[in-house]
Amino acid sequence: MATKTQEKMQDTVKVKETITGAEAVIKCLLAEGVDVLYGYPGGAIMPVYDEFYKYQDKIHHVLTRHEQGATHAAQGYARVSGKVGVAIATSGPGATNLITGIADAQIDSTPMVCITGQVAEHLLGTDAFQETDIVGISTPVTKWNYQITKASEIPEIMAKAFYIAKSGRPGPVLIDITKNAQFEEFDFEYKKCTSVRSYAPKTPVVNEKLKDAAELINTAKKPMVVFGQGVILGEAEAEFKAFIEKAGLPSAWTILGLSALPTSHELNVGMVGMHGNYGPNVLTNDCDVLIAVGMRFDDRVTGDLSRYAKQAKVVHFEIDPAEVDKNVKTEVAVIGDAKDSLAQILPLINKNSHTEWLEEFRNHDAIEYDKVIKGVLYPEKDGLTMGEVMKEINNASGGDAVIVSDVGQHQMFACRYAEFNQSKSNITSGGLGTMGFALPAAIGAKMGAPEREVVAVIGDGGYQMTIQELGTILQTKTAVKIVVLNNEFLGMVRQWQQLFFDKRYASTEMVNPDFVTIAKGYQIEAKRVTKREDLASTVQEMMRSKDAYFLEVCVEKEDNVFPMIPTGSSVSEIRLE
């Protein structure tokens, strides 16, 4: 219904006329500052879509080509913008198609609100058409979820959803709304949520813990920092940089921590983990104090836990108490938001430098360069490598682009070789490892940061999992740059088969379509590169384009990404070949 009078007082919106639940959903989104969201309509959510039609000048709905694409686009938007991403779908298969993206957002701590339609309340539990228990299905992979059966619940629940998704350690929230609640009318009033009983998103930093942590850091001879996405999510980049510079701390990153610190920074010593850099992995088992900031010690970082940093005293800066001592025993745990914790510990940290210790990282870098990096960036063989493609993207972007990578070998090459000058620039699926993530996430990222160049780096396998989102690019004219590194294999699986299964390439070789023709069918400029002499100029052409651009680069079919820590091995057993 039309609204006659509306007044805004701080975070409260009052409407002095009854409106439907469907219209209330839109007004809640607007009150939370949502200007773009991603979704796919259907019967159970149609009343809300009818309201989108009326409000299309105030809120931009992006019609993705699959509901999974909607969640990944919302993730890309959230990761680049720092805002809450929003996805919307109908009941049944529409809702279940959101689950992969929701699970991805949960493990990677991405703030997202998903809204699903549901059959009418009186039909719940009757196996009605397109009825699924999406609340039950999504419970393990959401930070919070709720089913609304009365229109009057909508304002309070929507306010809670946005507050919970964004506060503390972020995550996805799902709100399921029955069809009758969308049609019902009620007196609308919206008040932003600022607290929820029994939910404490931020823990006050304990001064004694700060003092204990500072003492360990100040007396360390071989300190090493491993930082993760908590620095980015906490918007603590400046505090983190001041912290490591004051204490002279060599700092390594997880793949989700990448870009929190410029890759060119003198204290940036590279990536830890299975395909990370040689120095930070080996020297993890040589440092005397290991300082973890906003990371969770997952298995791809630690390798064999029984042989991980056993000589070191561990200081863990972490917002989520559940992550402390879960995998690695800490000496001192500083619970709290990274921005607050680092700001408060900075006055307690002594000015220091660890020149000789830092030089050990550089010595390991030289070894890795000779054995691995030189051959990747400046290969003597005829075939193109994924690493040299990343080198040309760096040359063309100057380290200012957002790189959105999918999952597989190309992801590790992208993370290892991409250069970044600013935060929120590396967007990838970390904990869940979702193939098909990159293309829709790049669409969301470009909408979240339209002033920046966004380059999706994708393998030929993952690309075909969400290739239909080229239709979203066609309809929205989103100027993303798409680079498919085509080795005609599921490359990472093939690498494992080569190294650990005697080259039994079971179900990993790909027979691919003509990607260039497909892209042109979606009215996207497209080219294919097969020769080294054409690579740099074509990448430059792609980056200069004001529109969407597709580039297929045919790379070596049986190239591997090294270094590599085999499963079950210690980080110090990293292989260079």
Q: Which residues are catalytic?
A: 67, 129-130, 179, 492
Residue 85 · residue 64 · CB < 8 Å = no
* 3-class DSSP state of 456: strand
Beta bridge partners of 534: none
* 3-class DSSP state of 503: coil
Distance CA 406, CA 441 (A): 9
Length of the chain: 577
| Token output for 227 | 């930082």
Tell me 409's DSSP state.
H
Name the CA dihedral angle for 514, 520, 525, 531, rounded to a multiple of 10 degrees.
20
Which positions ≥6 away from 272 have C-beta within 8 Å? Answer: 226, 252, 253, 254, 280, 281, 284, 301, 571
Amino acid at 89: A
Which positions ≥6 away from 324 have C-beta within 8 Å? Answer: 316, 318, 330, 333, 335
Residue 41 · residue 69 · CB < 8 Å = no
Tell me 555's DSSP state.
B
Distance CA 318, CA 363 (A): 31
| Token output for 510 | 């790909």
- Element spanning 68, H or E: helix 67-81
| Token output for 145 | 């979820």
Which positions ≥6 away from 25 have C-beta within 8 Å? Answer: 48, 51, 115, 154, 158, 177, 182
Distance CA 446, CA 473 (A): 11
